[in-house]
Structure 1
């Protein structure tokens, strides 16, 4: 039987690209997201129209917030009941801080915001993994966990403390999990760079910074679609040694490789998928 993938944050962005990519290759996929509108659009409109009839029954879905223990437990059980197993967990769900987007320095940011980002991104990865482990351990040939980090774990602009801490934590967590869960489960992290997935979201852009600053408690991330890879300028493409910014499929291919193709002798590592951008030395003009 084709492997079963459980994906968090699958309603938009890299998660949605990956779900479609895997389904097109005959795998079975269980999609989850905390955003009802994104998940509904992906599972009732986008995938049915994008997939061949032969793959239409290969996906199921459930609303799931990675900070909600009961929802996580229910979604994992639903996936196992629907497909009979879970072979691969993709911990993709993640949020960023509204304060970062608004350019606000950390001494003016409530600690609760920092804690919330870590709860979703880092603790959420831990929580979902906990519930999936008993099923992954039974997967023939060994289960696989792929955690989505970010180039921001090691590179940073201003005001990204919460997001960076969460992603650096994911890379450390991946290493620790690989030692604890082997040999039954292999654990990997992927660190994407600039990836343009605007076409995978319902909306086109966040509001401007002044609008965000007017209501920092509002969840703009759920209402709007951040412009990942914002500005498809030739200069941005040229700044990457490979000659372009990333696409969602670039990440999805790595997920498939680490989950299926890789021969079983790799675990605990973080794989940078950034078109070589982090390897360039650039000084201000």
Structure 2
């Protein structure tokens, strides 16, 4: 059955892959992102080029920063106006601690401005709450029950140095989602997908990336620092072999889980976290 999806962070990365995958499956999708260049490229160039013409009417989009209440309110209202409803909310937007110059420089947390920590939580955790708030009145009307899927990360439980903000935001999303599942049932089911290493470097407009100097110096940048022409480009065999399944992840690996939990799951799961990491987190590893 065709459903109406509202996706945050859909201008690039996993969000863009999920939007494309769902559209190809016959669903309708409303794409949002705070990066206007990436969102414009995805919606006016990429999707029209890969979808058959009859599917072009199945997607709409709106610029939306999840930390901006008025933009969130307007985007949700626009989706309901364009498509008549919202059946599934997918919260993918995120700011990664790796996007902080402080983390990249290995600066200890007591020397990092609190604003850096607050910015990550504002987008990742509070943004998830904010968008969910606005979507709930529409989701409760969805035939068969509404669905919210929040993306966490394996980094909610596995850490590297100086990732405090990202870890806190993603662990917070898992706790928030459990509470939402209890509070919003039975009208709405809530799930968490926790990806591992997923290579989506090719899922963005290369021309929209700033120069390397800007990337390295801008503390509030909204771009990752690398681009690849195709999945897996430049990744070592050892990196693939470190995963029990034999490879790192693809965006489609997450997109399939999104559709399964939204459409095929059957209505008897809620509040769970689904780790999609190729088994990497189960490998015991000590320094050699």
Shorter-normalised TM range: over 0.9
Contact persistence 1:177–1:187 (CA under 8 A): yes
Q: Which residue of 1 aligns with 2:72?
A: 72
Residue 126 of structure 2 is aligned to residue 127 of structure 1: no
Contact persistence 1:203–1:225 (CA under 8 A): no
**How much has 1:54 moved relative to structure 2?**
1.7
Give TM-score scaled by structure 1 length: 0.94
Residue 148 of structure 2 is aligned to residue 145 of structure 1: yes
CA displacement, residues 150-175 of structure 1 (integer Å, 9 cap, x when unaligned): 00000011100000000000000010
Residue 198 of structure 2 is aligned to residue 187 of structure 1: no
Contact persistence 2:5–2:86 (CA under 8 A): yes
Alignment of 1:208-223 (within 5 A): 215-217=217-219, 219-222=220-223
Tell me the distance in 1 between the aligned counterparts of 2:26 and 2:214.
43
Three-state SS of the structure 2 residue aligned to 1:45 is helix
**How much has 1:201 moved relative to structure 2?**
1.4
Alignment of 1:51-200 (within 5 A): 51-97=51-97, 98=100, 99-200=102-203
CA displacement, residues 2-57 of structure 1 (integer Å, 9 cap, x when unaligned): 21000000000000000000000000000000000000000000000010112111
Three-state SS of the structure 1 residue aligned to 2:179 is helix
Q: Which residue of 1 aligns with 2:283?
A: 280
Contact persistence 1:33–1:65 (CA under 8 A): yes
Alignment of 1:16-35 (within 5 A): 16-35=16-35
Tell me the distance in 1 between the aligned counterparts of 2:8 and 2:254.
15
CA displacement, residues 68-118 of structure 1 (integer Å, 9 cap, x when unaligned): 000000000000000001000000000113122332221111001100100
Stretch deviating more after TM superposition (222-231 or 58-67): 222-231
Contact persistence 2:202–2:227 (CA under 8 A): no
Tell me the distance in 1 between the aligned counterparts of 2:40 and 2:214.
27
Stretch deviating more after TM superposition (96-105 or 64-73): 96-105
CA distance 1:199–1:223, change in 2 (3 Å):
closer
Tell me the distance in 2 between the aligned counterparts of 1:20 and 1:4.
13
Contact persistence 2:35–2:222 (CA under 8 A): no
CA displacement, residues 202-233 of structure 1 (integer Å, 9 cap, x when unaligned): 2398977x9766x353x333385567978411
Q: Unmatched 5+ residue regions in structure 2? A: none
Residue 53 of structure 2 is aligned to residue 50 of structure 1: no
Give TM-score scaled by structure 2 length: 0.93
Three-state SS of the structure 2 residue aligned to 1:195 is coil
Alignment partner of 2:249 out of 246, 249, 253: 246
CA distance 1:157–1:226, change in 2 (3 Å):
farther
Q: Which residue of 1 aligns with 2:11?
A: 11
Tell me the distance in 1 between the aligned counterparts of 2:210 and 2:265.
38
CA distance 1:276–1:207, change in 2 (3 Å):
farther
CA distance 1:267–1:156, change in 2 (3 Å):
same
Three-state SS of the structure 2 residue aligned to 1:284 is coil
